[in-house]
Amino acid sequence: MEDIEAIAALQDPVRRRLYEYVAAQGREVGRNEAAEAAGVARTLAAHHLDRLAEAGLLESGSRRLTGRSGPGAGRPAKVYTRARAERSVSLPARDYRTAAELLAEAAEQAGLDAELRAAARRRGEALRGSAAPCGGLEQAVEMLAARGYEPHLEGVEGATGAAARVVRMRNCPFHAVAERFPPLVCGMNLALLEGLLGTDGPVRARMDARPGDCCVVVENSKNNGD
């Protein structure tokens, strides 16, 4: 029932806008910023943000948003981030997570990594259908967003010092199973995205694990790691 009550908290349109904004930032968000993004008064935003924290959808803390410390730095402000806990509702109750973990455990013990990656690549190709390989990073963002990866473009400095862009993803749809079987599931995820985006187009997917993000990034093929 707790998951149902938490998700029900998003029924209010203002509350949902605030939650979606905070979740999309991938960092702490203050009340003023959230209110401006949602187009509501600060007091109303504060009320809804606290309700989201009470429901377990956001986590709250406090810090000085001025970046200063000591006398005259001002009082710490309340800030919010998306809660790490996973929420899901199934009526009637289903337990696909246990089934996925059992299958992953069996595959790992049987050494079926290559077979799983091949199946994942075929599934990605099937999802793409007859469409051409992904045409660029912007299109990759759209495709990944549709699959729930929460992608965003990020600038990185290459070996030559020139800035390049990669697509990182704040959400891994397989997070719960990947935590228990990281090599197996991350390899599966990479193969799935290779099939979805294509391997002979202008973008490529590669492994680049970073705490808090999906283990895969997408970049222009011409980067070749530079």
The residue among 186, 7, 11, 149 whose CA lies nearest residue 83 is 7
pLDDT band at residue 224 under the 50/70/90 scheme = very low
Task: Write the Ramachandran bin of 9: left for phi over 0, alpha for psi from -120 to 50, otherwise beta.
Answer: alpha
Q: Is this model's pTM higher than 0.75 or not? A: yes
At residue 28, the pLDDT reads: 93
pLDDT single digits (tens) 45-99:
999 999 999 999 999 999 876 665 655 556 788 999 999 888 888 888 889 999 9
Per-residue pLDDT tens for 189-198?
A: 999 999 999 9
Pairwise CA distance, residues 156 & 209, whole Å? 15
Q: Which is higher by pLDDT, 187 or 84? A: 187
**C-alpha pair distances (Å), 106 with each of 92, 103, 109, 110, 123:** 27, 5, 5, 6, 20
State the pLDDT confidence band at 159, using cuts at 50, 70 and 90. Answer: low
